[in-house]
Amino acid sequence: MSEDEQFNQAFGEHTGISTEFIDYITGLKNGVASHLFLYSYDAAELSDLAWRLLGRYIANDSGELEELHMAFCGITNEKMVLLFRELSRSKLQELNIDGNELGIEGVRSMIPFLSNSPNLRVIDFSQNDNFNTECFELIIQTLNGVCPVESLLFEHCNITDISVLDTYTPSNLQQLNLKRNNIGREGCMIG
């Protein structure tokens, strides 16, 4: 199937995806989108092919796309794996995936992307109930050292232990939001 046929199958008018999101995707595919907002009503209509193509278009973007917002879209581990299978690098500056359902499988699928995104400054994982200490540890370990990320938001997740920060610290990190987690005194005991 040609690229145009795949695009039409995934994002054509017959899919139920809004015209606004189709316009965003068309701009992204053509390298002229500076931001991409995915709303829950469109996310619910995305097929597996659409998730994979979305990842491919972001990875192949010429550098115009700076922000990707996918908040409260019901994004599961399975959808994250589809998206990040093709999205192994990016010039994104901001990634917002708060209010979704991702856990450790989804986080693992992001590792190549996080390791190959030299412009990434802000990542928002807030309000992901399945995002736990294991997820937090994997993100911090991946971003350790000379990572460009300046702001990490984990508000209202299920993190209970932040001792990984004793060993690993993203070098450019200026803001770390851990509000409304279950860290407690034991989880805060870092050297």
The pLDDT tens digits of the residues spanning 40-52 come to 999 999 999 999 9
Query: pLDDT digit string (tens) for 93-114?
Result: 999 999 999 999 999 999 999 9
Longest CA pairwise span in the chain (Å):
57
How much is the pTM?
Answer: 0.93
- At 190, the pLDDT band (50, 70, 90 cuts) reads low
At 191 the pLDDT is 46
Residues 6+ apart with CB under 8 A from 43: 70, 73, 74, 75, 79
At 186 the pLDDT is 63
184 touches 157 (CB < 8 A) = no
Residues 6+ apart with CB under 8 A from 25: 7, 11, 36, 54, 57
* Interatomic CA distance for residues 172 and 112, integer angstroms: 19
- What domains appear along the chain, each with residue ranges and CATH number? 33-187 (3.80.10.10)
